[in-house]
């Protein structure tokens, strides 16, 4: 209510509060299967494709395949239930895992699929939920933030350049990785070599990106595809295109 306004129906407010409190917790929720596409579809570039990307839809935003197609990629968007054999059959140059709702700790099938992608050497890019799944695939845990990050003016430090990006966020979970200057270290299973925390949220020090140094994989927690938000992080799509070209 506006300051000084009188609540003329407190009973209605209590009903709304009860509805909110009755909602199940996000912790332990596997929701990607509920929001994924029911059918595979393709977003084509204007000219001859420079690369083919298989994008696993965990709640994907339409702007993401559009951003990749603008850079010459043919983007094949597949359902959350896709198998690794089905991904291989599409002969991709790279694999993308999208944003989406739910608790990454409850997404073992998606984590296992991502490990198969990494084991096969496909260049990988993940956004938001995709970042959390990469963290888990590499041996890190994830945790629920007390309030989450929401909005379009979140400052994030790119540790490689020292540049501060203004970014769009919408996440309630984060990767549990060290964010000190000494955070470059082998993963606990040693399988995928070394990784660094590439981006850090300046408001609270939350991990905002991961970059593998020995395999072609990286991810960010925020949304570089944000249509109505800041576009400081557009370069990440260019990075993925270059990563596929290098491999």
Catalytic residues: 128, 223, 225
Q: 212: closest CA among 190, 233, 197, 234?
A: 197
H/E stretch holding 118: helix 108-119
β-strand pairing of 217-220 with 207-212 = antiparallel
- Cβ–Cβ under 8 Å, residues 129 and 32: yes
* Helices (runs of H) and strands (runs of E) counted in the chain: 7, 11
Look up residue 228 and give its two tokens: 């109505």
- Cβ–Cβ under 8 Å, residues 56 and 41: no
Rounded to 5°, the CA angle 142-145-146 comes to 150
Strand partners, 171: 149
Neighbours of 86 (CB within 10 A): 13
Q: 220: closest CA among 160, 69, 190, 107?
A: 160
């Amino acid at each position: 209510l506006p300051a000084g306004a009188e609540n003329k129906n407190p009973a209605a407010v209590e009903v709304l509060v009860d509805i909110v409190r009755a909602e199940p917790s996000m912790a332990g929720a596997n929701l990607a299967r509920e929001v994924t596409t029911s059918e595979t579809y393709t977003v084509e570039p204007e000219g001859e494709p420079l690369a083919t990307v298989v994008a696993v839809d965990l709640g994907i935003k339409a702007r993401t395949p559009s951003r990749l197609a603008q850079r010459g990629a043919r983007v094949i968007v597949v359902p959350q239930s896709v198998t690794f054999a089905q991904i291989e059959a599409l002969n991709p140059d790279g694999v993308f895992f999208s944003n989406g709702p739910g608790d990454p700790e409850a997404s073992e099938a998606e984590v296992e699929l991502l490990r198969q992608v990494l084991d096969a050497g496909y260049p990988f890019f993940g956004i938001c939920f995709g970042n959390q799944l990469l963290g888990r695939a590499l041996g890190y845990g994830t945790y629920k933030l007390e309030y989450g990050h929401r909005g379009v003016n979140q400052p994030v430090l790119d540790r490689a350049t020292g540049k501060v990006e203004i970014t769009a966020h919408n996440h309630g979970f984060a990767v549990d990785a060290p964010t000190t200057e000494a955070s470059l270290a082998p993963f606990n299973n040693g399988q995928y070599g070394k990784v660094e925390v590439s981006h850090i949220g300046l408001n609270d020090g939350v991990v905002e990106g991961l970059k593998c140094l020995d395999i072609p994989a990286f991810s960010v927690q925020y949304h570089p595809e944000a249509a109505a938000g800041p576009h400081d992080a557009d370069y990440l799509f260019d990075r993925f295109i270059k990563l596929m070209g290098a491999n």
